[in-house]
Amino acid sequence: MSAPRLAIFRWLPLACTLAARPAVAAEPAPPLPITLQADRLLSTTDRETIAEGSVELRQGGLLIRADRLSYKPPTDRAAASGQVLMQRDGATYRGTGIDLAVRDFSGWFVAPEFDFPLLGTRGQASRIDFASRTRLTAADARYTSCPRPEDGSEPDWQLQARKVTLDFDANEGLAEGARLRFQGVSILALPRMSFPITGARKSGWLPPTVNLDSRSGFELSVPYYWNIAPNRDATIAPRLITRRGLGVETEFRYLAPDYDGSVNADLLPDDRLAGRTRHALSLQHRQAFAGGTNLTLQGRRVSDDAWWKDFARPDNVLTSRLLPASALLERPLSWHGLNLSTYAQVQHWQVLQDLDAPIVAPYGRRPRLGLSGDGAAGPLELSFETELNRFERPDDDTAGDRTEGWRWHAVGQLAWPLRQGGLSIVPRLSFNAASYKTDDPMSDGHRTASRLVPTLSLDASLEFERDTQLWFGRPLRQTLEPRLLWVRTPYRRQDTLPNFDAFGKDFNLSSIYTTNAFSGIDRVSDAHELTAGATSRLIEPATGAELARVGVVQRFLFRDQRVAPQADGSVDGPALEQRFSDILLLGSTTLLPHWTLDAAMQYSPDAGRLSRSILGASWQPGPYRTINARYRLARGVSEQVELGWQWPLYTAPAVTDGKGGASGTGSSCRGTWYGVGRINYSLRDSRVTDSLVGAEYDAGCWILRVVSERLSTGRTEATTRLLLQLELVGLSRLGSNPLRVLKDNIPGYRLLRDAREERDPSTAP
């Protein structure tokens, strides 16, 4: 039987026993005491203490366990041997010997293996030298997030280095003779590599990215990150494109208390396929001035019309062929209870034309000057907007006969809402006034014109509720919400006026409850109509979650509508004589476990058939398991089916030791294959328009993603990209990044990395 644990031995520095001195604010806190306990202790006063058997030394967050330990108070050094374990700041070190100055944490550790549980990573070294609490050097270091194989074989991946120096104060790590090995093969080697220790920014090379597509071939990019200042940085990425040549991508970002923004440039000095220099530039800038004035600058320009086909990548633009450039100055105001906003803008568009499919771009506005506001006066609610615009065609506009000119407009409304309980009645008077001056004569021969169109409307709705029960007595709350919208707008002839920004609204559940069938200012539909509809919902009383919804709505015309949008969205055409509009129906439910169903249909009573419909279904029985399908019909225009999924395909069986337990030999990671994808198929054209198909392999400590994406660039043209990424968990991602593509295209897609974050820490690799 071992001897009982001995009493705790404490030693305080001699400085703590000196005569007290007057306290000053800058005087540091006294050092934390050192606690030593073991099965056997032998102490020589003020010279050395020797501990043997289950030794534990503690000082604040530092813990050292060993078979034998010697501590010398005069030099503050602890030397331990045998099975040595040290824990500090969430990290664990195991080795055969340590010699350490406890309080300033300087010394060395022989043959340590280290674990970082918070990061899920581990490693080993032949020796670690601690210069201080914030500086250390490791020799022959290895680092990985894969489990440590019991047979001593190499983990699936590891980062090796002849020497690694870490300086936590400077947030800098320096590796010499670094190699990254994957499945026993060196895939990256650097004689000298500098890297940040934490998530803070630091200059240095980033992991390379690769792309492969059917137009440009293989592309390799090696980005360099430049931390210019705490509020400025840049990324410079030289790249090689096998079919086109050498190029460079750059991004410059800046941030200040009053402004921030970014500038991006993409340059190909000599595109061998196109036979010319090509480039793309983009700018984002936001600035705040005194008094609440804000300036926003944004724009994107490319060198040629074929850029969107040759470099089909996601951009934050309205469409890939319509590139905006604008400068907007705004200032909020307040006047007699009204919330006002003044603004001035210059806006222009670059249109990337295609001879096979030309598009008509919006007008540029140079300038756009406006004032808008809203407020309340007693029970009345007021809102208005007035603007002065100069409309100009884009330089490469295919519709060159469109007129240019000036327009002043003013729109506003005055409402007197009456709301009580579930009853809402909102009478509203609104107006739309505009005045024009064009460069060329309008269709009636005049260069100037004006008009004023008033509108009177009444919007009334009710909301009824009742408690009900579903299957197995599940309590629910059901609502019934009828709604009526009456609109009266007199006829004003407008076909002789220019059309700068008006377009027929899509006929749907949002637009049917509006007073004007057109977007924009230049057209106002005459109306004497009544829209009637009703919606019913099932609600979970405890959470307020909506479990089901059904609705129906239809519009009735009391007279023909002479200013009416056409089926193609155009604004001037024959009058609308159909008294009863198409019926809009909607439905959605999540009542079935793991299922989400929704439908929106437009039924034509005259034709006796559906003219438009959208049917969707999604099944999500568990994490990383989703299948969704959607059918879209616009009769005479398009008909397509969309299918998306993320689903486990194969899970490798666990390797056992023959006794029912998990084996530590063989491959260090157990893997699962997942299939991911989305396919859009046109039933009208009998072809796949866009597709995204790939696979993900989750090995626990690394993830491999292979995704093929096909993007249509015309009826007979498409670009195919291959995205390949290797994610080394706890280190970095190598290759091209398909994650944004997967999240944007597959509803319900989840990152596999979340799986390890949700697992039991005791079973994490």
Could you tell me if residue 204 is left (phi over 0), alpha (psi between -120 and 50 degrees) or otherwise beta? left
**Residue 565 and residue 674 in one domain:** no
Banded pLDDT at 4 (limits 50, 70, 90)? very low
**Residue 10 and residue 98 in one domain:** yes
pLDDT in tens, 332-380: 998 888 899 999 999 999 988 887 777 888 899 999 999 999 999 889 9
Domain at 88, CATH number:
2.60.450
CA dihedral 92, 98, 100, 102 (to 10 degrees): 50
pLDDT in tens, 438-464: 999 998 889 999 999 999 999 999 999
Domain encompassing residue 3? 1-117
Indicate the range of 331-335, 408-412, 622-626, 738-742 predicted with least confidence. 738-742
Whether the upstream peptide bond of residue 367 has omega within 30° of 0, thus cis, is yes
Residue whose tokens read 């030693």 = 11
**Residue 489 and residue 576 in one domain:** yes
Helix (H, G, I), strand (E, B) or coil at 742: helix
Per-residue pLDDT at 620 exceeds 60: yes
Asked whether residue 14 is domain-assigned, the answer is: yes
Q: How far is CA 407 from CA 254, 319, 432, in A?
A: 38, 27, 13
Per the CB < 8 A criterion, the answer to whether 317 and 325 are in contact is no
758 phi and psi angles, rounded to 5 deg: -95, -5
Token pair for residue 175? 């590796």
Predicted pLDDT of residue 313: 62
Task: Choose the final residue of a domain: 100, 117, 134.
Answer: 117
Asked whether residue 615 is domain-assigned, the answer is: yes
Asked whether residue 512 is domain-assigned, the answer is: yes
**Residue 535 and residue 439 in one domain:** yes
Helix (H, G, I), strand (E, B) or coil at 473: helix
pTM of the model: 0.78
CA dihedral 697, 698, 701, 706 (to 10 degrees): 30
- Its sign, for the CA torsion 630, 633, 637, 638, is positive
Token pair for residue 108? 């060395």
Task: Choose the final residue of a domain: 62, 82, 117.
Answer: 117
Token pair for residue 260? 């921030």
**Residue 512 and residue 648 in one domain:** no
Helix (H, G, I), strand (E, B) or coil at 395: coil
623 DSSP 8-state letter? T
Helix or strand run (H / E) with residue 754: helix 753-758
| Interval 129-148 mean pLDDT | 88
Q: How far is CA 443 from CA 363, 392, 404, 520, in A?
A: 19, 18, 13, 20
**Residue 531 and residue 645 in one domain:** no
Predicted pLDDT of residue 670: 64
Predicted pLDDT of residue 147: 84
Q: Share the mean pLDDT of the chain.
A: 85
Banded pLDDT at 198 (limits 50, 70, 90)? low
Asked whether residue 357 is domain-assigned, the answer is: no
pLDDT in tens, 256-298: 999 999 999 999 999 999 999 999 999 999 999 988 999 999 9
Per the CB < 8 A criterion, the answer to whether 492 and 450 are in contact is no
**Residue 531 and residue 413 in one domain:** yes
Token pair for residue 495? 């076909």
- The total number of structural domains in the chain stands at 3
Asked whether residue 199 is domain-assigned, the answer is: no
- Residue 403 C-alpha from the chain's centroid: 41
